[in-house]
Amino acid sequence: MEIHERVDLRAWTTLGVGGVAALVARCHSENGVREVIDLAASHGLGWVVLGGGSRLVAPDRGFRVPVVSLTGELARWEPGVDGLVAGAGANLAQVCRAARRAGLSGVEDLDGRQHSIGGFVNGAAHRVLGAGNALDWVELQGPGASILRWTSSLSSPIPEPSVLHRRVVVRARFSLKNPGTAEAVPTTGLSGLSRPLRSIGPVFLDTHDATAADLLDEVGFAGTALGGVRFGGSRGNRLLAGRSATASDVLELCRRARDSVASETGIELSPALVFLDEDGLAVPL
């Protein structure tokens, strides 16, 4: 485990916004995770798990609670004959490509997505990206406890918030298919180099009646800017951020977009992004 103090969060999130984290613990194993969250819990503190930073908008004033980063064995993956086990710190796009190299199928739609495995399991990424039925099991570490293994079922293909509460996802298994022959792996799409340097999306979840991008376009919000952030991208449901962007800009622009769609269409959009305060608690949009 490595401990770093006063870490600039702008280098740790996709949009490049946020203040300074008082402490970042880079945990290489479950034991490291347990030590950090046990210490935080003993002082009555929570914690923030930061993977690829593709959904999280860190506060401009930074985090007072410890930030947990999963590295080492918790960022590795291993394909098998009918599935793949990955640490929660592993990059989802890289894991998908590894599965394809092994001739496994079932997560093709996730290729190119810059999420960590833990981020996929934990939040809105699940609802945005789907593929919950590919999850076989998830291992979680809680304070003062042994590893809990949650197993998927037809009635509960993804972990419920009550299962994830005050636990850290450390590892997951995807149950995949073996078509018998490995597919060629494209040489583009992994790092997203064709995208703007600071880009994040989708910003809002699609509704049953229309896509979020169509609704934003309908009310004329596509391309709207505030401070250093604006809506953009080919699908219109992404945010582009310049060097002057702040978390406050992102939050306020998203609130205005949601309110505009609600007032003109009567449809309430739900955010796909996660906004946090200094204590790592969710900030409602």
Give the C-alpha separation, 97 to 108, whole Å: 9
**Amino acid at the residue 118:** G
Fold of 76-175: 3.30.465
* pLDDT tops 70 at residue 222: yes
Q: In this structure, what DSSP letter does residue 147 have?
A: P
Domain 2-72 bears CATH identifier 3.30.1950.10? no
If one counts every other C-beta atom within 10 angstroms of the C-beta of residue 212, the result is 25
Is there a shared CATH topology between the 2-72 domain and the 199-275 domain? Answer: no
Q: Kindly give, in sequence order, each residue whose CB lies less than 8 Å from that of residue 32, ignoring residues fewer than 6 positions away.
A: 1, 25
Q: What is the mean pLDDT of residues 163-190?
A: 64
CATH of domain 199-275: 3.90.78.10
91 and 116 in contact (C-beta within 8 Å)? Answer: yes
Evaluate if residue 265 carries a pLDDT over 80. Answer: yes
pLDDT at 129: 45
pLDDT (average), residues 71-100: 84
Nearest Cα neighbor of 17 from 56, 50, 68, 48 is 56
Secondary structure class of 136 (helix, strand, coil): strand
Confidence of residue 119 (pLDDT cuts 50, 70, 90): confident
- Mean model confidence pLDDT for the chain: 82
> What pTM value is reported for the model?
0.79
Query: How far is residue 250 from each of residues 15, 59, 129, 142, measured CA to CA in Å?
Result: 9, 10, 22, 31
Name the residue ranges covered by the structural domains of the chain: 2-72, 76-175, 199-275
Most confident of 7-16, 51-60, 150-159: 7-16
Of 67-71, 108-112, 172-176, give the lowest mean pLDDT range.
108-112
Give the pLDDT score at 133. 57
Note whether 88 and 116 are within 8 A (CB): yes
Longest dimension (CA), the chain: 53
Tens-place pLDDT, residues 39-55 = 999 999 999 999 877 77
Tell me what the mean pLDDT of segment 192-207 comes to.
Answer: 66
